[in-house]
């Protein structure tokens, strides 16, 4: 089978073998990418139309007890200026965001012990009380099952925890010994089991990553069936052990977005800030490769430059309103519209096609 036929097969069957994913990922050309993106866009249009969902990202603390080698806010980075927002600051971000049309708030941060379960549940329940029509997403790392249950009981709807890489040896090259892929995966399974809409994800082009590793990421997400998959290029941080490593590429990140869309047709797929950082129109290109979510920054401008996960991160200078307008214009320029909506995952029974399209449906749609 040639590579174009493999993409046809993925479009029909929504899964490939590890070897087949490898073959595709190892053969990216502009022609193959365009062929893939036509299909990934089409299936995205069938399910989500030309709507773009927005999530207001509130980066509420950059204190972190972990020491991930790639990350700019790792505990060993003595050059990071640490900050944490208080509950009132966070609620102010939400108030502003609500006025701008956001119906999902994502609270993301380092693993900061100051934010005990009690503090997190208090913040989550306050947001849900004030904005019952909004979804709250947490992205605060690995916690116990009991903590996750408490967050869920307080009203949190979704949880983002990128698995970073699905290969154990590769995971060890990116993280200190006290962190393990197995624990990360256990957390993801707990979160799903509890009832969260769950997001996993990985960095593209992280140090030591192989084509096989990316194929393993594809098989992992197919197996986990997350509601969301967050991916972006790895970008070196100058105060990290990976300061001399090469960044992930635009081409490969876009290609992976296309493969993910065909593998999990109704998945929520953000076109990330990291993608916008490596190319001035990276986020637009991400949408055109099959992504359907953007996550503008709602953090107070005074702290934005401090949440520096990687060098040259964009959107650290403007007010939230500007940030949102800028993204809305970018989306309009390629024929898409940001909508005022929680932007929930559409289950196969509840999407615009009715079911995950199989061979017949796809043929019908073609004719």
Binding site for ligand SAH (CB under 6 A): 70-71, 108, 110-111, 139-141, 161-162, 164, 203, 232, 234-235, 237, 274, 309-310
Pick the closer one to ligand SAH by CB: 201 or 258: 201
Name the DSSP letter for residue 354: S
Least Å distance, CB 64 to ligand SAH, is 6
Pick the closer one to ligand SAH by CB: 56 or 232: 232
Least Å distance, CB 292 to ligand SAH, is 19
Pick the closer one to ligand SAH by CB: 41 or 285: 285
- Are residues 295 and 54 in contact, defined by beta-carbon separation less than 8 angstroms? yes
CA 167 to chain centre: 19
Structure-block tokens of residue 242: 């990976």
Least Å distance, CB 117 to ligand SAH, is 16
Q: How far apart are CA 107 and CA 61, in angstroms?
A: 9
Least Å distance, CB 194 to ligand SAH, is 17
- Alpha-carbon distances of 219 from 14, 16, 18, 19, 222, rounded to whole Å: 11, 8, 7, 11, 5
Least Å distance, CB 271 to ligand SAH, is 14
Helix (H) or strand (E) holding 123, with range, is: helix 117-130
Helix (H) or strand (E) holding 104, with range, is: strand 104-109
Least Å distance, CB 343 to ligand SAH, is 19
Q: How far apart are CA 188 and CA 207, in angstroms?
A: 23
Pick the closer one to ligand SAH by CB: 41 or 227: 227
Query: Phi first, then psi: what are they for 207, rounded to 5°?
Result: -55, 140
Q: How far apart are CA 159 and CA 139, in angstroms?
A: 6
Structure-block tokens of residue 147: 């903590």
Half-sphere exposure of 344 (CA within 13 A, CB side): 11
Alpha helices (H) along the chain: 3-13, 18-25, 30-48, 87-99, 117-130, 145-153, 168-174, 181-194, 211-224, 250-263, 273-278, 282-288, 301-304, 320-333, 359-366
* Residue 339 burial (CB count, 10 A): 16
Least Å distance, CB 239 to ligand SAH, is 11
Pick the closer one to ligand SAH by CB: 140 or 267: 140
Helix (H) or strand (E) holding 54, with range, is: strand 51-54
Query: Phi first, then psi: what are they for 61, rounded to 5°?
Result: -155, 140
Least Å distance, CB 165 to ligand SAH, is 10
Q: How far apart are CA 266 and CA 366, in angstroms?
A: 19
Least Å distance, CB 75 to ligand SAH, is 12
Q: How far apart are CA 288 and CA 44, in angstroms?
A: 10
Structure-block tokens of residue 113: 């012990």
Pick the closer one to ligand SAH by CB: 246 or 332: 246
Pick the closer one to ligand SAH by CB: 121 or 272: 272
Pick the closer one to ligand SAH by CB: 39 or 304: 304
Pick the closer one to ligand SAH by CB: 101 or 241: 241
């Amino acid at each position: 089978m040639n590579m174009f036929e493999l993409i046809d097969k993925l479009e029909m069957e929504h899964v490939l073998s590890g070897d087949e994913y490898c073959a595709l990922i190892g053969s990216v050309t502009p022609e193959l990418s365009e062929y893939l993106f036509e299909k990934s866009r089409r299936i995205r249009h069938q399910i989500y139309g030309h709507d773009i969902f927005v999530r207001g990202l509130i980066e509420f603390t950059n204190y972190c007890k972990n020491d991930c080698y790639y990350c700019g806010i790792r505990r060993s980075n003595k050059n990071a200026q640490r900050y944490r927002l208080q509950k009132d600051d966070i609620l102010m971000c939400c108030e502003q965001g609500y006025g701008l049309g956001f119906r999902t708030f994502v609270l993301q941060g380092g693993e900061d012990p100051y934010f005990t379960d009690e503090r997190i549940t208090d913040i989550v329940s306050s947001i849900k009380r004030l904005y019952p029509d909004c979804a709250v997403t947490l992205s605060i790392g690995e916690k116990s099952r009991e903590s996750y249950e408490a967050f869920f009981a307080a009203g949190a709807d979704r949880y983002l925890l990128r698995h970073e890489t699905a290969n154990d040896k590769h995971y060890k090259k990116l993280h200190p010994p006290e962190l393990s892929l197995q624990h990360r995966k256990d957390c993801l399974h707990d979160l799903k089991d509890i009832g969260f809409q769950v997001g996993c994800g990985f960095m593209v082009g992280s140090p030591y990553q192989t084509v096989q590793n990316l194929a393993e990421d594809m098989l992992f997400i197919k197996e986990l069936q997350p509601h969301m998959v967050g991916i972006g290029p790895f970008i070196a941080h100058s105060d990290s052990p990976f300061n001399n490593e090469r960044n992930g590429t635009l081409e490969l990140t876009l290609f992976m977005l296309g493969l993910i869309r065909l593998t999990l047709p109704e998945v929520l797929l953000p076109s990330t800030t990291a993608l916008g950082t490596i190319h001035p129109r990276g986020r637009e290109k991400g949408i055109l490769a099959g992504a359907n979510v953007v996550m503008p920054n709602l953090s107070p401008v005074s702290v934005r430059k401090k949440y520096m996960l990687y060098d040259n991160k964009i959107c650290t200078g403007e007010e939230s309103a500007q940030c949102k307008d800028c993204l809305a214009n970018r989306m309009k320029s390629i024929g898409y519209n940001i909508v005022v909506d929680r932007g929930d995952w559409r289950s196969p029974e509840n999407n615009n096609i009715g079911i995950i399209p199989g061979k017949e449906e796809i043929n019908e749609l073609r004719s």
